[in-house]
Amino acid sequence: MALRLYNTMGRKMEEFKPIVEGHVGFYGCGPTVYNYAHIGNLRPYVFLDILDKTLTYLGYDIKHVMNITDVGHLTGDADDGTDKMVKSAEERHQSVLEIARFYTDAFLSDIDAMNIRRPDVICKATEHIPDMIELIKKIEANGHTYMAGGNLYYDISTFPDYGKLANLNLDELKAGAGRRAVSIIDQNKRNPNDFVLWFTKSKFEDQAMTWDSPWGRGYPGWHIECSAMSMKYLGKHFDIHTGGIDHVPVHHTNEIAQSEGSFTAEERAEGPWVKYWLHNEFLVIEGGNKMSKSSGKFLRLQTILDNGYAALDYRFFLLGGHYRKPLAFSWGAMDSARSGRESLNQRVAKLIQKANAEENLSLTKENFRQVLSAIKPTVTDNIDRFREGLENDLATPVALSAMQKESNGKGRKASEALSNILVMDGILSLDVIPCAFDAIEKQASASIPDSHEGDPEAQEIDALVAKRTAAKKAKDFAESDRIRDELSARGIAIIDTPSGAVWKRV
């Protein structure tokens, strides 16, 4: 089975065929760094992470690019609303750049905690203003712009394919311009769906971040940054563009218009700007509402940690839903995710103990990757199902289920099951094996008395356990088993851990 993805352009599943065989370039819309990322914001980056790691797993050489929007822009896609960056800077009594740096670092800390691999290129809008200006010049030269009220606008009527991603009808958009003119905030627009490429006059006085340009001193519209930076790092034509489903009707629609509006005739003949468009659905909270920062009340990853969950519990929860389906967040759902992840870790812990006891692998938290990577993964129904799930539009619930079944270790050596789990966790990134070692060590520490001094019976048991360990090391398994059975008859259970054998009364 080959990788198949749901392409928003055309609304259908398609077999993935990169523009250049064996190589994939993809761009994901990054955060606007004016506040902390809320847990709904983090869902797209787990989806992007799965895409990144699945493509690598399938043998592709990838280049993953993500922007950081650190230029102040408006709260609405349609050039209206409040300037997010300036508003945050005023509230915190800091400069716009200080705000951007602080929240960029906070975002990167969150994705690191979620085991999200950082993109190959993380590009900041403020560092690419010249690239945006050069792109706007090309769009202007192709006749797609007009100046009005001091701002440079993109005229959507000059681009016949406008709205093809969102299935918008250009004639209907033109017809509706007159009827909607009364409610338009920006009276300079010829069509309410036209958008700003470069602002020199906005409703904000003393704009904090401005640059010189051929159209006057000002700042770029929001949409132009993604076009300019993606083409700078991936070329005029690349494979995949991702983002939230809310980006389809405006942001991504405008990106296509301005990007392809900059093309020469030869570049248009080579194909579209982006071949595959992938969009994730929202995370909703109890009651069915999309999480939003506008109210000032939202859940951060730190909120989850403060409530006693791990960051990987939240990742486990997200992997349980398909990226194209809305996912409902609740604390009850987080309880289930934590319980499910703990059960998975416990099953893997048993596989580790079994591999060490029966196969003498001497697996530790430090060497397990080296040891297990040397074991050829066994082709099992679970491995097949895992791959098929990922190849079927990144179906993480299927892949997660396959890894859970593999953790049962049925029908194969424990080491083989662990080797398969190591491969699977390379994509799902739940740190299953390290967490299983943590579970073993926690169990062992709970069973060890603070001191056996003054307890002759305990000291005798310590001596027998040490004798059994020496017998195992000498491969005298008959003696080792005899000591184990003797202690078992006395109600003593021996637990083999990566740090050595410990015992407890049962």
Binding-site sequence positions for ATP? 293
> For residues 82 and 91, is the Cβ–Cβ distance under 8 A?
no
Stated as kind and residue range, the H or E segment containing 55 is helix 39-57
What is the C-alpha to C-alpha distance for residues 51 and 499, in angstroms, rounded to an integer? 37
Q: Which residues are annotated as a binding site?
A: 29, 226, 251, 255, 293
CA 2 to chain centroid: 22
Annotated binding site for Zn(2+): 29, 226, 251, 255
- Torsion, Cα of 227, 233, 235, 236 (10° steps): 10
Q: Which residues of 198-226 are buried (b: 16+ CB within 10 A; e: fewer)?
A: bbbebeeeebbbeeebebeebbbbbbbbb
CA pair distance 478, 140, nearest whole angstrom: 85
Three-state secondary-structure class, residue 146: strand
d(CA 92, CA 69): 19
* Other beta carbons within 10 Å of 359: 14
Burial class of residue 13 (count of CB atoms within 10 Å of its CB; 0-12, 13-18, 19+):
exposed
With CA atoms as reference, report the closest residue to 309 among 114, 111, 31.
114
Structural contact between residues 426 and 387, judged by C-beta atoms closer than 8 angstroms: no
- 59, with CB counted inside 10 A (0-12, 13-18, 19+), is exposed
3-state helix, strand, coil in the chain (%, to 5): 50, 15, 35
